[in-house]
Each structure stands twice: as structure tokens, then as C-alpha cells.
Amino acid sequence: MKKTFRRIGALFASVAMMALPGVARAQDANVPVQPELAVERDAVEAALRPLADLIKAGTTSRATVECTSRGMILGQVTSSEKSLYQVASKLPNQYRLQLKADAETLQLISNGKQVSVLLADQGYFQIPSPQSLQEVVGALPVPLGPYPEPIMALTLAGVDLIGSLLADLQSLEVVNREPYGDEPAVLLRGLQADGVGWSLWVATDPGKVRPLRMKINLTAALGAADQLPEGFAYEIDLKFSGWRMGAEVDESLFAYQPPAEARKFESLEDYFKSMSAQPQQHPLLGQAAPQFTTAGVDGTKFDLASQRGKVVVLDFWATWCGPCVEAMPVISEVAGEMAEQGVVVFAVNVGERAEEIKPFLSRLQIGLPVLMDPDGKISDAYAATAIPQTVLIGKDGRVEAVHVGIAGPEPFRAKLSEQLKALVAGEKLAPAPTQSSPAPPTPAQPE
């Protein structure tokens, strides 16, 4: 279950990164270098030059990049998303980019005239091809993972790696020339003006020069420190498991013939509009709430069946989820005001350990009872494919309302208060299930 949340988190990061300067395009490389960086830049350029020359001279390329995105609090990993990039390119402007994450796949295919963007199994749209592969480094038509620019700069044939990677920096250094595993290597480190930091390991053995690994710290780019949990960090770890400049590539890699049944969209915006025009009803609305037993963060046993006759609020959350942290105080306050009217609320933590949660709760100073869902069995039963998810259960044990995400504290507060008052009064919010309604998920019984 937790992998679903990580995928949502990666998508959020992808969208957030779209507005950042990120890795610069080659034409930005003439930005004046600060005098104190000049010596360091010369040393880094010299270390990077063999790789940069290989890429610049390349007319074709093939690469495989293993990507791990990690959310951490105080050094402890709280979320981890694995994905795989596969890249093929040919000058002047043909490329095939594929991102595989869990069961999802996103592909971009340029035949030199148009780029076909394949949106998993939802359809596709097409736009004119860029004039050169260099344009692809800083201008992908869709977010391809949380921070794709350095991947493009290191894998596409013919691009200016130094101009793309070393522009607009606060600091830059050659860290060491220690081996990476058994290979001679150099470790380079940079800090961009937007706060993004990176470390790059490059193999230096003549005839075997290639990128080995790159770690990118995006914490500063995600928002102001007071909007994130204390000690929060977000990084991307790239491992270049396959990399060849001048590789043989088949022209069929750059061709796409849409299936007859595939839906064509005019643009990415058109795709999103079509999705928003078809709101999905939560599968549990009007259904009996899945029963479960579990333990609280303090070790006490909990059985949902014992709450029958009360209005129950289940709030699915995790410490690494910013919107969850925004929603919890609102839920606590609104439900607390109605506690004497039989409203109870439980915060169901997904995928984390008690030792991770307790310090977080202490800092947040919210007295919500927290239930444990370490394996995601409860959230699976409640179809919580994104968090925060707030589930309202009526006195008769029926799911009456489900909120996914938070559109802002005040609108959420008003809607939640309105719905809880109606449920306390015995009203129904969800329509009665019909014969065509989907069956509720299997009830969860975590140990």
C-alpha cells in the first residue's frame, strides 16, 4: 500500500519542480561566475571534461538509470519510491524516454517531426519535435519524474553537459578522487542558486569514462522550512546501470503508431480537463465501513466495532505528508467541538513505526488518538490510494463521506463541520448503494 503513497509523493514533487530553475540550459552557461567560484569551477570542469567530451561527440546514446526517491525525517527513511528510466537518442532530435514506476509507465517518443506523449493506458497527445536534443534537457513536455533535467543532461547524445550542469551555482568543488567500488572515480559536488544540491560520481578510467551515480537533495526546493516537518529531507538517488554513447540504435525505437482504440488528447491540459470532468466516486460511499482491529501508537488494542452508535472520523496520514499535517489540526478541532455529541476521531498512520511517530506527535502537539497501520492493510481496505484521506462513518456503521486531500483549511473546516452536524442528527450523506455499486474492499484485520 505504501508504494501508492510514494508514487503520489513523487508526482507532487514532479509538479513542484516544474517551476524551478533546475539544471540550466546550455545557453545559460555564460552567466558570470562569482570570482570565489572561478578556481573551483576550473577544477570541476577539468574533472568533468572527459565525460562532457564523450557526450558532446555522441551521435547516438542508450542508457538505463535506476532512480530511488526518498523522504526522510531526522535521517530515518519514511518513504521510498523506486523507478527506472530508459533513454535512447539520435541526433539531431530523435529520442525515446521511458519512465517505469510501480505498475505505471510514461513514454515520450520523438521521430524528429513530432513527439508522442504516451499517458500510460489513458491515451496520448502529440506536439512538434524540438530542433535539438539540447532543448530536451530543460524543456520536457510533461514532468518525467521528480527531477529529470540532470538525467537528460547525462544521457542524451550531443548535449553540452558542462553548460547544462554548472550554471547558476552557489558553490562547486572536487570532493575527492577515491574509487567508487573498484573503479577509479572522481566525486563532484554543487549547490545551485535555487538551493538544490547534488553529488556526482564519474568513472575516470580511460575507455570506461561514464556517470556512475548522482544524488540530488531537493529539500530546500520543496518549500519554506516552517511548512515541512522538523528534520524533513527529500533526495533522489540515481544509479547509471547502463550507459553508452555511440550505441547502436534501431530507427523503430523512435516510431509510434497509436492503437486504433487509443484516445488522442490535444495537450496535457486537455487530458487533465477530461479527467477532472469525470469525478470518481469513492467505492466505499454508502457501503458498510470495513471492520478492523489494530493497536494504537501507545500499544492499546482497538476494534472499530466497539464504536458502533457513534459518528466516527478516520484520518489516514503519514509524517512525511505535508497536506496531512495541514489537515490534522482542523480535524482535531472540529471533531473535538462535537465530542460530547458522540463524534470520535482516530488518526490512522500508514506505513510508519511508533518510534518515528511519537516525536512527530510531540512536536505537532495534537492530542488525536493514533492507530497503527504499518503494512497498509487498513488503508487498502478503505481504498486510500492518496493521503490525507478523511472518512466519515455514520452511527449505523455506513461510510457517508470521504475527503481526499485538503483544498484549504477553512473550506475543509466548514465542510467537515457541516457534515458532522448532519451525521449527529442522524441524516444520510451518501446515496444508498445500488446493485451496480462496486463491492467494498475486503475488511482489514491487521495483526
Q: What is the pLDDT of residue 74?
A: 76
Q: What is the pLDDT of residue 439?
A: 46
* Burial bucket for residue 44 (CB in 10 Å: 0-12, 13-18, 19+): buried
C-alpha cell at 27: 545557453
The predicted model scores a pTM of 0.63
What Cα–Cα distance (Å) separates residue 416 from each residue in 311, 331, 358, 387?
A: 12, 8, 26, 16
For the 2-276 domain, the top CATH level (class) is mainly beta
Peptide bond into 388 cis (omega under 30): yes
The region, left, alpha or beta by phi > 0 then psi within -120 to 50, assigned to residue 56 is: alpha
Mean pLDDT, contiguous 10-residue spans, the chain (447 residues): 36 34 35 55 94 97 94 75 93 96 82 91 88 93 86 97 91 95 96 91 96 93 59 90 93 91 83 60 90 93 95 90 82 89 94 82 79 91 88 94 83 91 91 54 45
- Name which of 349, 430, 444, 433 is nearest 388 in CA terms: 349
- Length, in residues, of the chain: 447
Q: What is the pLDDT of residue 405?
A: 81
Asked if 383 and 282 touch (Cβ cutoff 8 Å), the reply is yes
Q: How many whole angstroms separate alpha carbon 252 and alpha carbon 270? A: 28
Q: Where in the chain is the domain with CATH 2.50.20.10?
A: 2-276
What Cα–Cα distance (Å) separates residue 438 from each residue in 76, 279, 286, 386?
A: 39, 16, 11, 19
For the 293-424 domain, the top CATH level (class) is alpha beta
Q: How many whole angstroms separate alpha carbon 330 and alpha carbon 138? A: 39
Q: What is the pLDDT of residue 221?
A: 73
Q: What is the pLDDT of residue 434?
A: 53
What Cα–Cα distance (Å) separates residue 430 from each residue in 146, 285, 291, 379, 422?
A: 37, 6, 19, 20, 12
Q: Where in the chain is the domain with CATH 3.40.30.10?
A: 293-424
Q: How many whole angstroms separate alpha carbon 105 and alpha carbon 160? A: 28
Q: What is the pLDDT of residue 282?
A: 84
Residues 6+ apart with CB under 8 A from 149: 22, 23, 137, 138, 164
**In degrees, to the nearest 5, what angle opens at C-alpha 91 toward C-alphas 204 and 151?**
50
